Structure 1
């Protein structure tokens, strides 16, 4: 049972939310919240320790506090708040390496819980309808957070071979949404006009921020569960999401979507990568049987309910957006068709 818990990434939203919720568990005697900058939100009764997991000093912190459980929440999904992609990769990959090295040397650590992502499965037209935890991706993520998550999981598997005495639970979360969290997917559907790959309407699953946090807490305080997919029941499609969010769509030919994504990313409106655009074209399905039978977790929100809760807190594009959205979407469709014809003509 977790007594002294070290939580990384508490200055980020999900890490802080996890620390606050874990603080309500009286069986946990002490919580250490670690990050490079002080949190601007409450972290409950967690003691904040200013430290960089990329620095070997993290091992001394574990030893001094006799940490028995490490919860790695600091696998960052977007480079927006980290100073760019280079820093994001350093924190995700180098930070995880150093953290696992400290865990390997620790005599007190007996459990490791890692927040991973369903992005490790990639997204392609050859994917199965549902990915179970023992399946490999048909196409590995090539860039960004998905690639980082694949590397992080590789290091965790290596650690498990070196320290078979440490219990490990790794949660592959579907895209997290909610009224307060900001991720690449929430920024995307918050755009005033949502670019949609022309001719595609991907289906995918989501998990509410409260459910993601509850699953992480159960992984921390309950029995070890290994690798587990976590997602809300059901699916939504891209166009269903735009309708729920009252956002007009702009259909864009998939080969040209990368250029548009670059423009949007550089404008700071949302974080786009080629892997995310592929996800929006082909989607992804997760088998969540282990979530119920092994982890023993039942989400409160379905995929649709999670997105609806997020959408309720969106500002409208313009007053009376429902009617305007339909009109603009129709006009955008005509524009996208013209763009598609132009693009076809310039293909070699």
Structure 2
């Protein structure tokens, strides 16, 4: 049975707002309702077609009435926030992530019309550490850096969803674990980090990073909404970039600092309202994270259009980041230094 009446949460965010607009122009859907405590962006409102916006808080029991009165059959939960772009009240974010999810899932469980749930999750649930596998699969254990961090909210959310699946085994549940979003209009801790003129890194580490372009993330959520494809899927682009490569591509200046200096650097960036690094983000910059996307292409039926490198280049060009240093000159200098070091090593051997 195809979806007919869809409710999307988190439409005040970039991805949720664009999904609302995309679904609002689909001839396959009878009705599309977006809910959030803040309105979608103006571009999303201008393009939302037949979609409707309802100002509502998913932490409020009213969400159950909205689902029931509108005869919603498909719920897309896109409001989970584990990467606040800047400083944010931790308790408020956690309350929305946890209490909001519990209210929403309870409403889905009690509504006999709801037949499908699509969830925007994050690949950060796998954690990042010195003993992490080179590539995470969907069956890898979920390990938060901190039991009180933002990523622990996503792990708790997925636990609640598995519980809902056991209580309502008739539900079709699709969970998409996204790598870090990248694109010209994406505003996350990482996009702000790479826009800093001087980018602090942790001395002795050069993490492997994997991104997903926001347009590919949008396409995955749309496909999961329109088609019945149950399961858990890693969503990421092909290829990886090391942290140092990404910094050079952005034309930034890398500033390696010892890990002992982080207690000074992180509060300074947070106090300037530039970037708010959580423990999960710091470990990502230490150890990196790469996920396997075989299940996405073979079972879900989607291959990302943008590679990790292409997604990052589009972010750099779309933001019109003016290089602090010329990246080609910097790359040539790095090559000369490497060649000189190799020559010196050969002479001493």
- Counterparts in 2 of 1:83 and 1:252: CA distance versus 1, 3 Å: closer
SS state at 1:300 partner:
coil
Shift of 1:28: 1.0
Shift of 1:225: 2.8
Distance 1:269 1:56 in 2: 35
Match of 1:141 in 2: 145
Match of 1:16 in 2: 17
Shift of 1:101: 0.6
Q: Which is further off, 49-58 or 217-226?
A: 217-226
TM-score with structure 2 setting the length? 0.89
Say yes or no: does 1:299 pair with 2:300.
no
Match of 2:63 in 1: 58
Match of 1:2 in 2: 3
Shift of 1:313: 2.5
Shift of 1:270: 1.1
Shift of 1:153: 0.7
Shift of 1:263: 1.8
Distance 1:323 1:58 in 2: 50
SS state at 2:54 partner:
strand
Residue deviations 1:94-152, cap 9 Å, x none?
10011001111111100000000001000001011111101104x42314321111111
SS state at 2:137 partner:
coil
TM-score with structure 1 setting the length? 0.89
Say yes or no: does 1:108 pair with 2:109.
no
- Counterparts in 2 of 1:193 and 1:27: CA distance versus 1, 3 Å: same
Distance 2:57 2:144 in 1: 29
Distance 1:191 1:325 in 2: 20
Aligned mate of 1:177, from 182, 185, 189: 182
Residue deviations 1:267-291, cap 9 Å, x none?
2101211211110110011010110
- Counterparts in 2 of 1:274 and 1:210: CA distance versus 1, 3 Å: same
Residue deviations 1:280-303, cap 9 Å, x none?
110011010110111101101001
Shift of 1:184: 1.0
Give the conservation status (yes or no) of the 8 Å contact 1:18–1:217: yes
Aligned runs of 1:1-348 on 2, under 5 Å?
1-41=2-42, 42-43=44-45, 44=48, 45-79=50-84, 84-137=89-142, 139-142=143-146, 143-316=148-321, 321-322=325-326, 326=330
SS state at 2:314 partner:
helix
Instruction: Count the aligned residue pairs.
Output: 327
Shift of 1:229: 0.1
Q: Which is further off, 159-168 or 139-148?
A: 139-148
Give the conservation status (yes or no) of the 8 Å contact 1:258–1:274: no
Give the conservation status (yes or no) of the 8 Å contact 1:203–1:284: yes
Match of 1:344 in 2: none
- Counterparts in 2 of 1:82 and 1:100: CA distance versus 1, 3 Å: farther
Shift of 1:314: 3.1
SS state at 1:115 partner:
strand
> Mind listing any 5+ residue stretches in structure 1 that lack a counterpart?
331-348
SS state at 1:95 partner:
helix
C-alpha root-mean-square deviation of aligned residues, in Å?
2.1
Give the conservation status (yes or no) of the 8 Å contact 1:201–1:238: yes
> Mind listing any 5+ residue stretches in structure 2 that lack a counterpart?
335-349
Give the conservation status (yes or no) of the 8 Å contact 1:248–1:325: no
SS state at 2:223 partner:
helix
Shift of 1:315: 4.3
